[in-house]
A and B are shown apart, each in its own frame.
Chain A
Amino acid sequence: MGVNTIHWFRKGLRLHDNPSLRDSIRGADTLRCIYILDPWFAGSSNVGINRWRFLLHCLEDLDASLRKLNSRLFVIRGQPTDVFPRLFKEWQINRLSYEYDSEPFGKERDAAIQKLANEAAVEVMVQISHTLYDLDKIIELNGGQPPLTYKRFQALINRMDAVELPAETITCEVIKKCATPIGDDHDDKFGVPSLEELGFETEGLTTAVWPGGETEALMRLERHLERKAWVANFERPRMNANSLLASPTGLSPYLRFGCLSCRLFYFKLSDLYRKVKKNSTPPLSLYGQLLWREFFYTTATNNPCFDKMDGNPVCVQIPWDRNPEALAKWAEGRTGFPWIDAIMSQLRQEGWIHHLARHAVACFLTRGDLWISWEEGMKVFEELLLDADWSVNAGSWMWLSCSSFFQQFFHCYCPVGFGRRTDPNGDYIRRYLPILRAYPAKYIYDPWNAPEEVQKAAKCIIGVHYPKPMVNHAEASRINIERMKQIYQQLSCYRGLGLLATVPANPTNGPSGSNVTGVNTGTSQGPGGSSEEQYVQEGTSRTGTQQLLHLISFHVLFTFEETSSITFLKTCFIPRVFKKR
């Protein structure tokens, strides 16, 4: 009997640098590339229209590329655990390939599929190509723990073996005689659905600012490198008003979906650098974007609670406020702060915002102004942001809300000042908040301060046509910095007066005292120092409620173990309702 193989696309939506697909084809008689439409975005079906549209573009592009190789893409509806046994039988499959997925949900799903494959005597071929490195090796190099600071991560990267070269692109030569049985009813049964078929309202939908697909990705890569070569400057680009707008050389969504191989990008960057800088060694900062992504994948891979505060060993337990009304205002761009609202508008319309814009809105929602949990912000980004995948999204939110990774919390992005300094003229605001278009630059960032005549002339009265600011920033940031300080002082057992020293610099600074939880003598005096110190030791943190047990002492961070009791994440999410075919 011949070898009938399935290649299962999840991420890695490309034909270049796809080693598991390449291996799958070797010696196979038939090949079917499938994509399973299932709640795929780990954790929820909370996916907005832009992300679905991007995905469908990717699938169409794959289908078109496969057509050139006399093959097709098979889009299959259902849950993988139901779909595979059926396909194994129907197509007489004896080989299955897919790209390794490092995320905890992905690993669990794949373990279940591996089991099914073993039972059906199907050979499974898996290769790493979504990350630069084998993440388990990085963790091993760090003594079995994921690195918790970016600096440590960089140090480990320096010691790793070189990144593997991208695999050769799948072409007719690679496919050779491997055939794909295509039925006449292929389009009906396995065609890429449209947005309408998925239940979306598409009337009034503007053209995608970020078109999906491998073809587009590779084109953008070329442009990106061209621009870098022309500038001949590999330094971090200075932020200006233009940087806020979607760039035709932006690559992050393509990396997330795997339309662009991170390894290809890595090597092309290295080659370009060597060419322009005459063979000197590229510094790590050249790969900033790729390494941050790698860092968050590494910290997340063994932590199924990575996207939560509760039960997450690397997350500081912060008493965030529960306030659905305030959250909605933020998510819908109705905060009354034009800078914040414009950013959230761009996000909702286009699916991408500059990373400094992300810092601004994330800070505003969490530790800066609203004191709302980062988990809520993460969910909104998950819905709207094209390049937000589970690990990177959760990790970034924890970072930006100072919930992890030993971040200093003193720098707060002002929702007025930061925007004003970035784009003094306010064109970005005018573009995404047309209601404020007629405001002069002087008042466009804080229109509530504009005199009545100015507001009337701009035909936009604050409180009527555009909301009043939902918080008093000075007051809110004052309260919040105090809250963060309270929390970090308890965590680090720091008893001094400085703000900076409350945040420990790295995990190797062990706790100095035993007073994070526990010893409840009540009569002990503090070891000298201020009565504040005595006060904090004696009067607080002694209830021993469950929550205290989650306070991170650095012992806990060091003894962080792989959770063996991964709760089986049943794929019981409410999938989008598909229109019946």
Chain B
Amino acid sequence: MLLTTHSDGSGGSVLLEVRGGGSADCDWARLPQELLLHIFQYLPLLDRAYASQVCRGWNQAFHMPELWRCFEFELNQPASSYLKATHPDLIKQIIKRHSNHLQYVSFKVDSSTESAEAACDILSQLVNCSLKTLGLISTARPSFMEVPKSHFISALTVVFVNSKSLSSLKIDDTPVDDPSLKVLVANNSDTLKLLKMSSCPHVSPAGILCVADQCHGLRELALNYHLLSDELLLALSSERHVHLEHLRIDVVSENPGQHFHTIKKSSWDAMVRHSPKFNLVMYFFLYEDEFGPFFNDEIPVTHLYFGRSVSKEVLGRVGLHCPRLVELVVCANGLRPLDEELIRIAKHCTQLSAIGLGECEVSCSAFVEFVKMCGRRLSQLSIMEEVLIPDHKYSLDEIHWEVSKHLGRVWFPDMMPTW
């Protein structure tokens, strides 16, 4: 019997074609389990659940371990979310029958503390799990931070201790701390490849250094700037350590006028030497006068995002000291034209292929010059319409033709509706 499935790609209907097999009838109840598995994999959970009610054979297929490797628990309260939650009965069933099948698990919680606590409760019960991937994702406010710290830590530790083969871990905006990271490392140092822990205020630089020292397979790391140290970078570039692929750093100001430490150029150089292709992604959420420690020396940043207003002067330094820059996004700058700064960036940042400008100002001529210098390597050019200031050479209507010409494709600035 030849079986072909045609999915419409959107997870909706599946067309089943069955050819040959000799007999005129096809007993749907007696399809081989491998075929059912193949078909069921195309169905979203709800449809699969309906299918499982059809007959005993299909019900058995529904509970095959292969279908329960991945699961995303959606935990929402009607008072705090518009979205539906995973049914509590289903959650009970999964814990009872499938917890040892689960390998790739994530929890999406809304802004209520109850949802985060429910996630912790489920985590605590995953004693038989050997998870490869775990993600704790807040879809609105970081509700894991509201859970009593001990409750959270003990739940997380259950997974760390039992899984022993964690490869990817996403625990941003959670109250994870140094001791729990030690437990993680003690049990999963051979397998850990990805660790995302931005905005985890209870972790110290020593805590993350422990991870870098022991987990030599770590390829992706996301954390806040206060955890970054020269020692950490050196640990990540040690001989025993694999090439780092992505490093994401969030630089966030807690209070205006905060001081930030500097990282030595030699530490960055060591990183680049060890992992020449690594991507350094930096998100800055600082007040304008807090940029003192940054961009005074060469830094191998590839993706740079300024979430608040950043001064002309700092952007000038970016142009000088970021030769590896691939993407630059500026949310706001203030109303002084960035002409020189952009030209400098075009000249020195030869890898730049994406740029986004929000509340800034650039004269049309300088902008055209910028685009000319970058040429076709600019695959993403997202400029708000208000950014471009017409001058004697170009009006707004003319500029999009000029730019399109140099880019080799039709281009318009981003617009906002005028009522």
Residue ranges of A at the interface with B (Cβ–Cβ < 8 Å): 150-151, 235-236, 239, 252, 283, 285, 288-289, 292-293, 295-296, 309-310, 317, 319-323, 355, 358-359, 371, 373, 387, 392, 395-396, 399-400, 407-408, 410-414, 417-418, 421, 449, 474-475, 477-479, 481-483, 486, 497-501, 511, 514, 516-523, 530-532, 534-535, 538-549, 553, 555-556
- With A534-B168, A544-B46 as contacts: A411 and B309 at CB distance below 8 Å: no
Q: Which of A323, A395, A499 contacts B356 (CB 8 A)?
A: A499
- Given the complex, which residues of A lie within 8 Å of B329, measured CB to CB? 410, 499-500
Which partner residue on chain A sits nearest B412 by CB separation? A151
- Given the complex, which residues of A lie within 8 Å of B76, measured CB to CB? 319
What is the CA–CA distance of A399 and B415 in the complex, to the nearest angstrom?
10
The answer, yes or no, to whether B341 is at the interface (CB within 8 Å) is no
Q: Which of A236, A296, A413, A543 contacts B45 (CB 8 A)?
A: A543
Docked-complex contact A548 and B416, CB < 8 angstroms: no
* Contact bitstring B326-349, A, C-beta under 8 A = 1, else 0: 110101101100000000000000
The answer, yes or no, to whether B86 is at the interface (CB within 8 Å) is yes
- Interface members, chain B 367-395 (any A CB < 8 Å): 379-380, 382, 384-386, 390, 395
Docked-complex contact A358 and B84, CB < 8 angstroms: no
Docked-complex contact B356 and A411, CB < 8 angstroms: yes
Docked-complex contact A474 and B307, CB < 8 angstroms: yes
Docked-complex contact A497 and B397, CB < 8 angstroms: no
- With A322-B79, A530-B245 as contacts: A538 and B279 at CB distance below 8 Å: no
- With A500-B354, A541-B72 as contacts: A548 and B303 at CB distance below 8 Å: no
4 smallest CB-CB distances across A and B, nearest first, come from: A544-B44, A522-B69, A411-B358, A544-B45
* Contact bitstring B301-329, A, C-beta under 8 A = 1, else 0: 01101011100000000000000001101
What is the CA–CA distance of A359 and B418 in the complex, to the nearest angstrom?
10
Docked-complex contact A410 and B256, CB < 8 angstroms: no
The number of inter-chain residue pairs (CB within 8 angstroms) is: 275
Docked-complex contact B417 and A522, CB < 8 angstroms: no
- Given the complex, which residues of B lie within 8 Å of A549, measured CB to CB? 11-12, 44
| CB<8 Å pairs between A and B, sample of 13 | A239-B386, A319-B81, A319-B82, A410-B329, A410-B331, A499-B327, A518-B10, A520-B41, A530-B194, A531-B167, A538-B133, A546-B46, A553-B9
- Segment of B101-109, B157-165, B178-186, B230-238 engaged in the interface with chain A: B101-109
Question: Shortest distance in angstroms between A102's beta carbon and chain B's nearest beta carbon?
Answer: 18
- With A321-B110, A323-B111 as contacts: A498 and B11 at CB distance below 8 Å: no
Which partner residue on chain B sits nearest A321 by CB separation? B140
Docked-complex contact B41 and A497, CB < 8 angstroms: no
What is the CA–CA distance of A387 and B419 in the complex, to the nearest angstrom?
8
- Given the complex, which residues of A lie within 8 Å of B139, measured CB to CB? 319, 483, 486
- Given the complex, which residues of B lie within 8 Å of A421, measured CB to CB? 334-335, 359
Which partner residue on chain A sits nearest B256 by CB separation? A449
Question: Shortest distance in angstroms between B40's beta carbon and chain A's nearest beta carbon?
Answer: 8
- With A292-B417, A319-B81 as contacts: A497 and B303 at CB distance below 8 Å: yes
Q: Which of A296, A399, A531, A542 contacts B416 (CB 8 A)?
A: A399
Docked-complex contact A477 and B82, CB < 8 angstroms: no
Docked-complex contact B395 and A235, CB < 8 angstroms: yes
Docked-complex contact A498 and B327, CB < 8 angstroms: yes
Docked-complex contact B307 and A478, CB < 8 angstroms: yes
What is the CA–CA distance of A395 and B419 in the complex, to the nearest angstrom?
11
Docked-complex contact B86 and A548, CB < 8 angstroms: no
Question: Shortest distance in angstroms between B332's beta carbon and chain A's nearest beta carbon?
Answer: 6
Which partner residue on chain B sits nearest A283 by CB separation? B397
- With A418-B332, A474-B307, A518-B7 as contacts: A544 and B43 at CB distance below 8 Å: yes
Docked-complex contact A417 and B66, CB < 8 angstroms: no
The answer, yes or no, to whether B74 is at the interface (CB within 8 Å) is yes
